[in-house]
């Protein structure tokens, strides 16, 4: 039998900052999807990592009196540690300073060069060091990048190697407009990209003369590969240098934030077409979190570090809260106060309390385990469009709330343990709980394991509450 393959990626996080709720948002979402596809019996490859080259990294390292590599070696483990805290099940953590990645980047660029798509030119324009990219006049607000402070935008003029991005525009438009593809998803993003493509696309420089912290261009060692080009190739390079992963290319899904949509759907696609490689099957672009109505920012110091989330809600609680507030459409507003409210309402007072009541009443009762559960189509469809909030609501509406209702209507605790009706009611509640837990397992894997253990064979006592109430 040919096992279905699912290759999912997060963007690799730029290493000039530490892990935040923003990067946790994409990573938790990818993890939920990776776990769900494993649940379906697919062969899954889940990739995340860090983007470590470029001017900005060299700048930060210098300020700290470190070499860029020393600096990267200090920060990359912080990402790995944050994802461990959140029980992220990535199969590999890629770092773009890995020599194996660097080798694939060189080979990839050489292929593009050999296909005649690289030429030498002069680049002049406004450059945002924060984004590490050139900006057109229309992308600037009051003369600077809207995502970064004014001093990050500088006028640059240098001799670079250029990639013939413009010559791939017709092919990219065709691919995006093809109804059977999900290359740009959700739907609304398609028109945004198509409009930008039709407005005219300039070729892009793929090398830097003045940046030494990067991978040398294979045909001109005096220049380094532009950090974005190097970073995008990570998705492909990991499948090439890791054993047994070659079949996973093309990626099934690139999960990304809206600020990097252009790079992932236009530039990356053109690079792959030039290198004569298959393009990814789907990209999903999410919006941002705002925190208590405000943009997340370093100066406001209003971000929520993953450590603080886990200290408060535990790993499963944090994962649940992050996933169910995932900004699949518009920006989503989050905050610790609302997180506490939702945690108590959904997990402590509802699901956790239900499991604890039923496990106490049913202690010692013999239960049959659910046989192979087919995956519900509605639930599957909601995950495919990253509507984790709706998917979880479906679990509560279909299993958890009916179990609570049944329990409260039939009051099995008023009857003795040997009463047949009492046992039937409890078995029915247990069936609903274990199915709910099966569907919840991509979100709350540790609790799902405990639930499974509790209701396997003879019902065992729960040592402690699954989700202790938070004051
Ligand atoms: Zn910027």
Cα–Cα distance measured from residue 288 to residue 295, given in angstroms and rounded to the nearest whole number: 9
pLDDT at residue number 151: 87
Cα–Cα distance measured from residue 53 to residue 230, given in angstroms and rounded to the nearest whole number: 8
Give distance in angstroms: CA of 129 to centre of ligand 1. 7
Residue range 143-191, pLDDT digits in tens: 899 988 888 899 988 899 999 999 999 999 999 998 888 889 888 899 9
Strands 332-334 and 282-286, how do they pair? unpaired
With 0-12 / 13-18 / 19 or more C-beta atoms within 10 angstroms meaning exposed / middle / buried, residue 250 is middle
307 in any annotated domain: no
Give distance in angstroms: CA of 33 to centre of ligand 1. 30
Question: What number of other Cβ atoms are within 10 A of residue 147's Cβ?
Answer: 14
Q: How confident is the prediction for the chain on average, in pLDDT?
A: 95
pLDDT at residue number 134: 85
Give distance in angstroms: CA of 456 to centre of ligand 1. 53
For the entire predicted model, the pTM comes to 0.95
Name the pLDDT band for 300 (thresholds 50, 70, 90). Answer: confident
Residue range 320-345, pLDDT digits in tens: 999 999 999 999 999 999 999 999 99
Cα–Cα distance measured from residue 270 to residue 272, given in angstroms and rounded to the nearest whole number: 5
Tokens of 144: 């600077």
Q: What is the mean pLDDT of residues 361-386?
A: 92
Give distance in angstroms: CA of 261 to centre of ligand 1. 14
383 in any annotated domain: yes
pLDDT at residue number 402: 98
Cα–Cα distance measured from residue 467 to residue 465, given in angstroms and rounded to the nearest whole number: 6
Q: What is the mean pLDDT of residues 444-457?
A: 96
Three-state secondary structure readout of 283-347: EEEECCEEECCEECCCCCCCCCCHHHHHHHHHHHHHHHHHHHCCCCCCCEEECHHHHHHHHHHHH
pLDDT at residue number 174: 95
319 in any annotated domain: no
Give distance in angstroms: CA of 365 to centre of ligand 1. 61
Give distance in angstroms: CA of 128 to centre of ligand 1. 5
Give distance in angstroms: CA of 145 to centre of ligand 1. 5
392 in any annotated domain: yes
Cα–Cα distance measured from residue 399 to residue 435, given in angstroms and rounded to the nearest whole number: 7
* 11: nearest Cα among 57, 50, 55: 50
* Side-chain half-sphere CA neighbours of 382 within 13 A: 19
Give distance in angstroms: CA of 412 to centre of ligand 1. 61
pLDDT at residue number 253: 98
CA triple 451-86-394, angle to 5 deg: 50
pLDDT at 123 exceeding the cut of 90: no
Alpha-carbon separation of residue 36 from 24, 91, 368, 449 (angstroms): 18, 14, 24, 15
145 in any annotated domain: no
Cα–Cα distance measured from residue 12 to residue 47, given in angstroms and rounded to the nearest whole number: 9
Name the pLDDT band for 124 (thresholds 50, 70, 90). Answer: confident
pLDDT at residue number 138: 86
pLDDT at residue number 1: 57
Name the pLDDT band for 318 (thresholds 50, 70, 90). Answer: very high
451 in any annotated domain: yes
Give distance in angstroms: CA of 213 to centre of ligand 1. 19
Q: What is the mean pLDDT of residues 9-25?
A: 94
Give distance in angstroms: CA of 339 to centre of ligand 1. 30
3-state secondary structure of 184: strand
Cα–Cα distance measured from residue 399 to residue 33, given in angstroms and rounded to the nearest whole number: 21
Cα–Cα distance measured from residue 223 to residue 209, given in angstroms and rounded to the nearest whole number: 5
Tokens of 164: 């013939």
pLDDT at residue number 26: 98
Q: What are phi and psi of 161, to 5 degrees?
A: -90, 135
Which is more confident, 390 or 296?
A: 390
pLDDT at residue number 111: 98
Give distance in angstroms: CA of 134 to centre of ligand 1. 9
Residue range 192-224, pLDDT digits in tens: 999 999 999 999 999 998 899 999 999 999 999
Cα–Cα distance measured from residue 195 to residue 432, given in angstroms and rounded to the nearest whole number: 48
- As beta bridge partners, residue 70 has none
Name the pLDDT band for 100 (thresholds 50, 70, 90). Answer: very high
Three-state secondary structure readout of 27-84: HHHHHHHHHHHHHCCCEEEEEEEEECCCHHHHHHHHHCCCCHHHHHHHHHHHHHHHHH
Q: Is the peptide bond preceding residue 250 cis, with omega within 30 degrees of 0?
A: yes
Give distance in angstroms: CA of 54 to centre of ligand 1. 14
Cα–Cα distance measured from residue 394 to residue 382, given in angstroms and rounded to the nearest whole number: 9
356 in any annotated domain: yes
Percent of the chain topping pLDDT 70: 100
Number of domains in the chain: 1
Q: Determine the structural domain holding residue 403 and report its residue range.
A: 336-471
Give distance in angstroms: CA of 77 to centre of ligand 1. 25
DSSP summary character for residue 25 = H
- The answer to whether 9 and 255 are in contact (CB under 8 A) is yes
CATH for 379: 1.10.730.10
Name the pLDDT band for 359 (thresholds 50, 70, 90). Answer: very high
pLDDT at residue number 147: 87
Region of 244 (left: φ > 0; alpha: ψ -120 to 50; beta: rest) is left
Residues less than 5 Å from ion ligand 1, measured at CB: 128, 130-131, 145, 147-148
pLDDT at 371 exceeding the cut of 80: no
* 46: nearest Cα among 9, 19, 78: 9
144 in any annotated domain: no
Give distance in angstroms: CA of 323 to centre of ligand 1. 27
Question: What number of other Cβ atoms are within 10 A of residue 67's Cβ?
Answer: 13
pLDDT at residue number 17: 85
Which residues have C-beta within 8 Å of that of residue 253, sequence separation ≥ 6? 6, 7, 8, 9, 33, 280, 281, 282, 283, 284
- As beta bridge partners, residue 277 has none
Q: What is the mean pLDDT of residues 254-269?
A: 96
Name the pLDDT band for 41 (thresholds 50, 70, 90). Answer: very high
Give distance in angstroms: CA of 135 to centre of ligand 1. 8
């Amino acid at each position: 039998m040919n096992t279905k393959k699912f290759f999912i990626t997060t963007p690799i996080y730029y290493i000039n900052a530490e892990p935040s709720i923003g990067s946790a948002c994409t990573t938790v979402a990818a993890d939920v999807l990776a776990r769900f596809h494993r649940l379906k019996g697919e062969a899954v490859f889940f990739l995340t990592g860090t983007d470590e080259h470029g001017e900005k990294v060299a700048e930060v390292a210098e300020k700290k009196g470190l070499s860029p590599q020393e600096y990267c070696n200090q920060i990359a483990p912080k990402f790995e540690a944050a994802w461990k805290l959140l029980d992220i099940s990535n199969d590999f953590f890629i770092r773009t300073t890995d020599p194996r990645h660097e080798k694939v980047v060189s080979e990839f660029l050489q292929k593009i060069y050999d296909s005649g798509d690289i030429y030498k030119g002069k680049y002049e324009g406004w450059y945002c060091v924060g984004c590490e990219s050139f900006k057109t006049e229309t992308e600037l607000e009051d003369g600077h990048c809207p995502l970064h402070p004014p001093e990050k935008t500088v006028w640059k003029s240098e001799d670079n190697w250029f990639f013939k991005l413009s010559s791939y525009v017709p092919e990219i438009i065709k691919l995006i407009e093809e109804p059977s593809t999900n290359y740009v998803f959700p739907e609304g993003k398609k028109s945004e990209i198509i409009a930008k493509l039709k407005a005219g696309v300039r070729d892009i420089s793929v090398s830097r003369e003045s940046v030494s912290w990067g991978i040398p261009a294979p045909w001109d060692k005096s220049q380094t590969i532009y950090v974005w080009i190097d970073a995008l190739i990570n998705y492909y390079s990991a499948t090439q240098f890791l054993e047994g992963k070659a079949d996973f290319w093309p990626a099934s899904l690139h999960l990304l934030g809206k600020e990097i949509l252009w790079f992932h759907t236009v530039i990356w696609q053109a690079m792959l077409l030039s290198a004569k490689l298959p393009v990814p099957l789907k990209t999903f672009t999410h919006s941002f979190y705002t925190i208590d109505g405000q943009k997340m920012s370093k100066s406001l110091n209003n971000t929520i570090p993953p450590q603080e989330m886990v200290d408060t809600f535990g790993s499963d609680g944090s994962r649940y809260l992050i996933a169910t507030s995932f900004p699949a459409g518009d920006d989503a507003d989050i905050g610790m106060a609302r997180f506490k409210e939702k945690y108590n309402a959904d997990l402590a007072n509802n699901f956790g309390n239900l499991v604890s009541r039923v496990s106490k009443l049913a202690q010692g009762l013999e239960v049959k385990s659910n046989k192979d559960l087919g995956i519900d189509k509605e639930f599957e469809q909601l995950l495919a469009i990253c509507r984790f909030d709706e998917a979880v609501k479906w679990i509560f509406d279909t299993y958890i709330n009916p179990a609570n209702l049944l329990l409260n209507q039939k009051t099995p605790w008023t009857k003795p343990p040997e009463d047949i009706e009492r046992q039937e009611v409890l078995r029915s509640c247990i069936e609903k709980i274990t199915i709910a837990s099966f569907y919840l397992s991509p979100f709350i894997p540790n609790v799902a394991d405990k639930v499974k253990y509790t209701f396997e064979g003879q019902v065992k006592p729960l040592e402690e509450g699954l989700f202790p109430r938070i004051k």
